Chain A
Amino acid sequence: MSSTVQGEIEAKHIGECEPGLSPLVIGGRTIASRLIVGTGKYSNYETMGTALDASGADVVTVAVRRERLVNERGESLLDHIDLSRYMILPNTAGCFSADDAVRVSLLGRDLLEQLGNAGASWVKLEVLGDKKTLLPDPAATIEATKRLVAEGFDVLAYSSDDPIASLRIKEAGAMSVMPAGSPIGSGMGVLNANNIALCLELLKENDADYPVIVDAGVGAASDVSRAMELGADGVLLNTAIAHAKQPIMMAHAMRKACQSGRQSYLAGRIPRRKYATASSPFDGVISHIPGE
């Protein structure tokens, strides 16, 4: 069976049988998959291409870096990404000031305009505070958000899981705030679920459709489900697939975990209780129950 036919069958199956899997909407862009994946750290482009496909992602992130000059050139990322299939989300990774983040955003937009890709007008804003932790600098992120919005960008801003910092970034004009589950590439998952829940509550207050994406820290599929079960609108990850022992299998797992977590959130979990509640009735038991 060709992959296209298989894809159509899966799409039909999801459409008819899988309730709740509505697309993610960010600033007028409708994105079928709520999982956004990065393109970094893969051992080779062939594995990356297959993993992107398996993840089901419609949006993939890329970085802006110096072109290797003649004689140093090898394969290009752009030779391995189907630009008609994926919307490219350029990032400002590696920037430690608002000035540099604005420069990189402008360069990325110029590149994506040349490629005719729909991702040209948005940017994944990262303004980092420290190379060791790669944690975001909230003040510089707010400043860069304001300047990029003034330049006409749709800003998806990487944030810490601090609810107030996240709220201030929204107020600065970010189209989406993306709190970190844990430090980039750490694989520790959602370290402070209460903070993520508070971020969601504050960012969505009187604005239920405001998109909040948990970005960074995912180590395994259960971390994606956890973030989605908390009510995140999407998850962005890279290393957890790229550095898995079997990246393509992990990409499949991440796709399903994102869908499962979304459905689990929408379906509404039962409350946590201290004591058990029996699933089988006690009425009619033939056994002796201790203490009765």
Chain B
Amino acid sequence: MTVILNGTPTDLPDGATVHELLELNELAARPCAVEVNRALVPKRSHEAHILCDGDAIEVVTLVGGG
């Protein structure tokens, strides 16, 4: 399936979870927050949340700001 990850079309195995997406991108051990289709998927739900074809996913972290 194809999802939109941080604005870029990205292929993922069917049935991948948010946690698996983060692992594939070597982000699972880093602090990051995820929303799918503009709704937060809290950290505690990352392993249970199964992604679907066409999902728009944002993976964010903290950066310098004022």
Interface residues of A (CB under 8 A from B): 38-42, 48, 61-67, 69-70, 76-78, 88, 90-91, 93, 103, 106-108, 110-111, 113-115, 184-185, 216, 236-239
Instruction: Report how many A-B pairs have Cβ atoms within 8 Å.
Output: 103
Report chain A residues within 8 Å CB of B6.
66-67, 69
Instruction: Evaluate contact between B64 and A42: CB separation under 8 angstroms.
Output: yes
**Contact of A76 with B64 in the complex, beta carbons under 8 Å:** no
- A77 lies within 8 A of B62 (CB): yes
Residues of B within 8 A of A237 (CB): 66
Closest to B31 in A: A114
Roughly how many angstroms separate A67 CA and B65 CA in the complex, as a whole number?
15
User: Which B residues touch A90, using CB under 8 A?
Assistant: 62
The smallest C-beta distance from B63 to any residue of chain A, in angstroms, reads: 5
Q: Take A107-B35, A110-B33, A115-B31 as given contacts and tell me if A63 and B65 are in contact as well, using a CB distance cutoff of 8 Å.
A: yes
Bound CA span A90–B33, Å: 13
Given known contacts A64-B60, A67-B61, A69-B5, A40 and B66 CB-to-CB distance under 8 angstroms: yes
* Contact (Cβ within 8 A) A78 B65: no
Tell me if B58 counts as interface (CB < 8 A to partner A). yes
B10 closest partner in A (C-beta): A69
Which residue of A48, A106, A185 has the most chain B CB atoms within 10 A of its CB atom?
Answer: A106
Contact A76 B35, beta carbon cutoff 8 Å: no
Q: How many angstroms between the C-alpha atoms of A185 and B41 in the bound complex?
A: 34
Q: Which residues of A contact B42 (CB under 8 A)?
A: 110
**Interface: B50 (CB within 8 A):** no
Main secondary structure of the interface of A (DSSP, over half): mixed
Task: Flag B1-40 by CB within 8 Å of A: 1 or 0 each.
Answer: 0000111000000000000000001110011110100101
A108 to B35, CA, bound (A): 11
Contacts of A40 in B (CB 8 A): 63-66
Residue of A nearest to B43 (CB): A114
Q: How far is the CB of B7 from chain A (nearest CB, A)?
A: 8
B59 at the binding interface (Cβ < 8 Å): yes
Q: Is the CB of B64 within 8 A of A41?
A: yes
CA distance A41 to B58 in the complex (A): 24
**B residues within 8 A CB of A67?**
6, 27, 30, 32, 59-61
By a CB distance below 8 angstroms, the chain B residues around A184 are: 66
Contacts of A108 in B (CB 8 A): 33, 62
Chosen A-B contacts, 7 in total, with CB atoms closer than 8 Å, are: A39-B64, A62-B62, A66-B60, A67-B61, A69-B5, A106-B40, A236-B66
A66-B58, A111-B60 known; 12 new pairs, CB 8 Å cut-off, are A39-B65, A62-B65, A64-B33, A67-B32, A67-B61, A70-B27, A90-B62, A103-B35, A103-B38, A106-B40, A111-B32, A114-B31
